[in-house]
Amino acid sequence: MTADSTMAAEIATEQEYFDRAAGERERRRRAIADIPGATANKGAAQRAARYVEARLASMAGPLDQVAIGWIDTDLGERLYVGHELIRDEASRLLVTSWKSRTAAAYYKARPADPLGVRRKRVFRCTGNRVEGFVDAVFDDVPETSVDADGAWLPQLDDALLTELQASRAGELRSIIATIQAAQYEVIEAPLDQLTVIQGGPGTGKTAIALHRVSWLLYNHAELDAEDVLVVGPNSTFVRYIEDLLPDLGDDVTHLAIGDFRPDIRPRPQVRGRESENVAALKGDVRMAGLLAWALMQGVERPSAVKTWEARVNGRTYSFDGAGLVAAVDDALQAGTYQQARLRLCGWFRTAGSRNGAWADEQDPMTLTGQIMPEMTAAALVQRVLSRADELQGVSAGNFTAEDLRQMWREPRPSAQERWTLADMFLLDEAEELINGSPQRYRHIVVDEVQDLSPMQLRALARRSHGSMTVVGDIAQSTGLWSRDDWDDLLCHLPDRLPVGWHELRYGYRVPRQIHELAASLAPDVAPGVEPPQPVREADEEPFWCELDEQAFAEQLAKRVVHHLDDDLGVGVICPTSRRQAVEAALTDARIDWGDADRAELDADTTVVSPENAKGLEFDVTVVVDPTGILKNDDGNRGDRLLYVALTRATQRLDVIAFAPQPAGVTPENSPRRVEGGEQAEIAETPPTAVSVEPVTAADALQRQVVGLMVDDLMGRLSLIAPHLWQPVLDEVAARLGKTKSDTSSS
């Protein structure tokens, strides 16, 4: 029997099994759909209908493959693993869910620790039709397939390659067929800990975090879907990920950080805008102390040596000053401000009753209000923001007078207040001080956490019982709170539970050529972060062209059409300064496009800013004006934004730069360089990618960074006398040499 005929026979046998399992799945689907008809009354039928709707939504589709693979154990058992549990009418197991603990060996078995697995098979399918498979016999694994710890090195079998090279849709997809051992270890990490996932571009960190949620819900009976909150950086990102968990059978709450609103009434709305300086001040953790101080400033401190008197409803009440002072001090230990008011009210009620009946049952609370006035979150934040002159005394060592002046705004009635996004987190902090913590979640996932302000992190922390999964990449940390290490972030999160640290080593989605181009910036982007190791090659080298303004629109349209003709989705990433020109070029070329900054992700061509591109993936990325991204008018780490932009592609990368570039930036000798202008010859048909050694493109961007840094340094040197220039440069060189030496020795 030939190898081909043996393979065909194996596929036929597997197909019979797949068809049988699919039939049992459909039998189960019909049985579930019939449940409402068997109920006793209308109420039960409605409850059953809701259950049936959720249960059917969690099942794989009728045409979906029933299994992703199987394992043979040393005990002679074969276990098929798939999207969900499938049994036959006799309750015999046909397929186990990928989320079950019995499926763990399918993902975790490795040559150094096979976990009783003798052979593993991975299927390649179209729908439920088996087209091929790859087997791994653990006894036959070559040494080159494992690392020093005996773990699998990434194995690029046909099934994995097919998935990685598949065109991206407008949302994140399930990765259950391609989960690697190191990824699975993160997924099954203990629930009761703060799980930290550091992962560079293409490591699959977002998908891993969401599959972890599904795994936790399946394996922890005490955890319900309503106990889980998933937080993303913006509505675009949330739109991109929000369908994955329902596809896996779980429907949890998703929240964009920009849609966060505190649990107060009336519900505040974001209607105002403010400068980045002011937003940064409001996001500073010092605001928590300032709000607490301002709240206490409203508390009257009676004299311990005088009788305290107050007139309420025509009656004068008198209390011993020393006793009242002690009562106030005791009340302030109660916890929240409102609890303190209630405790003090109880003291007044007890102390006053000794002198006869109260004129009115509400008098004790009225007296309490004269010591501790009733306060709302909105009123407290308004007090801080509109009374800067009263806060000067607290500014030393905290906020400067200039800080407070910048935050000051004209007082207005609460209903007319133009709250900003940063104010939402001040209101939330104030609400906790006054009334206590809001609803808490059993588990919170925060993606792109590296960009959140301390006050945003505090708002999420107070909603957590301690169990969290936080996901990010320090090398992609930008914005007002760009960070260089995790310590600056973790200090604002719950510390009640242990921390589980996971760093993803391999990049599966970004090809080597694209990764190397972006990684040329990595030493400057995040020196302390090890970039991921790419595991696959691109079909084409990155394309670079340098154009003038007149040629831009035509070339951009041709590049986009070229990729669309290959059935690839395109993401166009550009700085704000080029946004209008990009949109006009696409519109004039009659290319249907969506605005990802408005969460429009369904079009084949998507335009997005570097800031909102984080976490997104496209088959092809066209990065427009890398110099403009580097310069970044807002000063939010342009080097990191460019790194983000260059690492969004899973298959191809185009870079369109504008002439003239800074000296030494353009790859003069590169065959991939395409120039444009009035005399430039641009082909009538879309040009194919021009081959070039990856290092050439990397050098181009590296020189671009160097050019910008040199410009900045020259600007600073111009501020001092020329005879001091060389000593300054010598000192810079000496310090850099010492830093490099210290890094090498460590």
pLDDT band at 667 (very low <50, low <70, confident <90, very high): very low
Torsion angles phi and psi, residue 64, rounded to 5 = -75, 150
User: How confident is the model over 558-566, as a mean pLDDT?
Assistant: 97
> Strand 78-82 relative to strand 69-73: parallel, antiparallel, unpaired?
antiparallel
pLDDT above 90 (res 435): yes
CA 121 to chain centre: 33
pLDDT above 90 (res 703): no
| pLDDT tens digits, 206-244 | 999 999 999 999 999 999 999 999 999 999 999 999 988
DSSP 146: B
| pLDDT tens digits, 332-341 | 999 999 999 9
DSSP 615: T
pLDDT of residue 355: 65
Mean of the per-residue pLDDT values for the chain? Answer: 85
| Residue 91 structure tokens | 């309750």
CA atoms within 13 A on the CB side of 385: 26
Q: Which amino acid is at 103?
A: A
738 or 672, which is more confident:
738
pLDDT above 60 (res 110): yes
Evaluate whether 401 touches 362 at the Cβ level (below 8 Å). no
Domains of the chain with CATH codes: 3-187 (no CATH), 205-262+438-504 (3.40.50.300), 276-416 (no CATH), 512-707 (3.40.50.300)
| pLDDT tens digits, 709-718 | 565 566 566 5
For residue 527, give Cα distances in angstroms to 334, 484, 521, 524, 730: 47, 8, 10, 6, 23
| pLDDT tens digits, 128-155 | 999 999 888 877 655 555 555 555 555 5
For residue 386, give Cα distances in angstroms to 290, 382, 391, 420: 13, 6, 10, 14
User: Residue positions in the annotated binding site?
Assistant: 199-206
Instruction: For residue 509, give every residue at least 6 positions away whose Cβ sits within 8 Å of its Cβ, in sequence order, or none.
Output: 164, 201, 202, 203, 204, 617, 650
- The closest of 595, 696, 708, 711 to 655, measured between CA atoms, is 696
String of DSSP letters for 18-39: HHHHHHHHHHHHHHHHTGGGG-
User: Residue positions in the annotated binding site for ATP?
Assistant: 199-206
pLDDT of residue 672: 47
pLDDT above 90 (res 203): yes
| pLDDT tens digits, 614-635 | 999 999 999 999 999 988 756 5
For residue 130, give Cα distances in angstroms to 7, 16, 67, 72, 82: 11, 10, 10, 19, 14
Q: What is the 3-state secondary structure (H, E, C) of 664-686?
A: CCCCCCCCCCCECCCCCCCCCCC
pLDDT of residue 687: 35
pLDDT band at 167 (very low <50, low <70, confident <90, very high): low
